[in-house]
């Protein structure tokens, strides 16, 4: 699609409006990115319903038009992410696995599908429930959290280690809570622990890291500190002894409430709802074996991360254990790699000053 076409967008009324440049610094407000808001923005695949999402356009008391859901970032505003995209692989048809918010993305990258439409925790006072949906029937019901579903870490070969840092999806599975309670707490830790293990002999073979706090780029936060955090972590990874056999998938867990021009072409359920896949999210594939300056056009999604792990380590498809798991139907990320090429050296960048 021509760049000029991406600078405007249609509304549900048929009106076409210009997309404003993103501000330098934080946004005026956060945006609704729940299942209901995503469904309205999707508008049966027309991708023109963002104006029906409350708070997306025109702040009520703004003296000038304020449409944060429509913004677009220039290369000058995210220069290091652009450099990674030019040096490694950008997957520009990578979708969330569910029309929903953060937790759904975390769950899909470890389990190959999602079960809940809300952020949740197993630990709550009294009785708690979460909006759970059946990915086959699309029926939504309130159910207690903590599920006994398969996850890709359960199939890792003996001797391969794993860990999840930051907000954890794996601890929402009863089988992993048992693991943690059995004295294997090292599988889970705060995000800050990641920096202490990278490059050491105790670095796990498989890591899921979920960034939080001031650098998570969650609207309305400034994107600059988050980009700097990514640069610092990637420099640390590239300077480590493990770099020659590393693959980093850098992505964002949900659509954030922003407009996108590309439809995920999601089939409607019998209920008339739309579940999988959801809107696009960025994905950078960074590795000594990543193709240089390659744009991956294959339609992939967060569940494709599970498929890639299975492909790289020769693991069985989890779909055979649970037919709801999407590892047999999603696109493959293997095309991002060329394992016949000479491993590429580190590509180190500098952080930048934020406003």
- As given in the structure block, the two tokens for residue 227 are 């980009």
| Tens digit of each residue's pLDDT (9 = 90 or more) over 293-344 | 999 999 999 999 999 999 999 999 999 988 889 999 999 999 999 999 999 9
Please state the φ and ψ torsions of residue 142, each to the nearest 5 degrees: -85, 120
* Averaged pLDDT of the chain: 89
Domain ranges of the chain: 19-70, 79-336
**Which has the minimum average pLDDT: 47-56, 141-150, 264-273, 308-317?**
141-150
Question: What pLDDT is stored for residue 62 in this prediction?
Answer: 52
| Tens digit of each residue's pLDDT (9 = 90 or more) over 94-149 | 999 999 988 889 999 999 998 888 887 777 666 788 888 887 788 888 888 888 88
- Could you give the C-alpha distances from 176 to 38, 54, 172, 205, in angstroms and in order? 30, 38, 8, 18
How many H helices and E strands in the chain?
Answer: 7, 13
| Tens digit of each residue's pLDDT (9 = 90 or more) over 156-211 | 988 899 999 987 788 887 666 555 444 455 788 889 999 999 999 999 999 999 99
What's the pTM? 0.93
- As given in the structure block, the two tokens for residue 291 are 């193709």
Question: What pLDDT is stored for residue 3 in this prediction?
Answer: 54
CATH architecture of residue range(s) 79-336: 3-Layer(aba) Sandwich (3.40)
Among 287, 262, 288, residue whose Cα is nearest residue 277 = 262
Q: Which residue's entry shows tokens 């990278």?
A: 198
When comparing pLDDT for 146 and 286, which is higher? 286
Q: Supply the DSSP string of 194-240, one letter for each residue.
A: HHHHTTSTT--SEEEEE--GGGS--TTS-HHHHHHHHHHHHHHHHTS
pLDDT over 70, % of the chain:
92
């Amino acid at each position: 699609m021509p760049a000029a076409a991406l600078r405007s967008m249609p509304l549900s009324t048929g009106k076409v409006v210009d997309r404003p440049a993103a501000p330098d610094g934080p946004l005026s407000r956060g945006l609704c990115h729940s299942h209901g808001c995503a469904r309205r923005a999707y508008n049966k695949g027309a991708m023109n319903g963002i104006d029906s999402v409350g708070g997306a356009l025109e702040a009520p008391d703004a003296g000038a038009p304020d449409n944060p859901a429509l913004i677009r970032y220039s290369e000058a505003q995210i220069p290091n992410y652009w450099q990674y995209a030019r040096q490694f692989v950008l997957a520009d048809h990578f979708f969330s696995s569910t029309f929903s918010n953060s937790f759904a993305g975390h769950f899909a990258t470890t389990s190959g599908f999602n079960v809940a439409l809300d952020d949740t925790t197993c630990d709550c006072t009294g009785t708690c429930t979460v909006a759970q949906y059946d990915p086959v029937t699309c029926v939504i019901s309130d159910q207690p959290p903590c599920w006994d579903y398969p996850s890709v870490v359960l199939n890792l070969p003996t001797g391969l280690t794993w860990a999840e840092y930051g907000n954890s999806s794996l601890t929402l599975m009863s089988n992993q809570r048992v693991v943690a309670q059995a004295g294997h707490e090292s599988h889970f830790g705060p995000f800050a622990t990641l920096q202490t293990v990278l490059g050491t002999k105790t670095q796990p073979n498989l890591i899921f890291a979920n960034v939080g706090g001031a650098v998570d780029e969650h609207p309305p936060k400034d994107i600059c500190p988050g980009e700097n955090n990514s640069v610092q972590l990637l420099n640390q990874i590239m300077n480590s002894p493990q770099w020659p056999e590393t693959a980093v998938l850098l992505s964002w867990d949900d659509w954030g409430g922003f407009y996108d021009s590309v439809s995920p072409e999601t089939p409607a359920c019998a209920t008339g709802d739309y579940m999988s896949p959801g809107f696009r999210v960025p994905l950078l594939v960074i590795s000594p074996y990543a193709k240089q300056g390659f744009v991956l056009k294959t339609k992939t999604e967060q569940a494709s991360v599970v498929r890639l792990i299975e492909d790289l380590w020769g693991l069985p498809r989890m779909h055979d254990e649970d037919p709801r798991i999407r590892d047999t139907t999603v696109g493959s990320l293997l095309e991002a790699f060329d394992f016949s090429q000479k491993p590429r050296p580190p590509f180190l960048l500098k952080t930048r000053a934020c406003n």
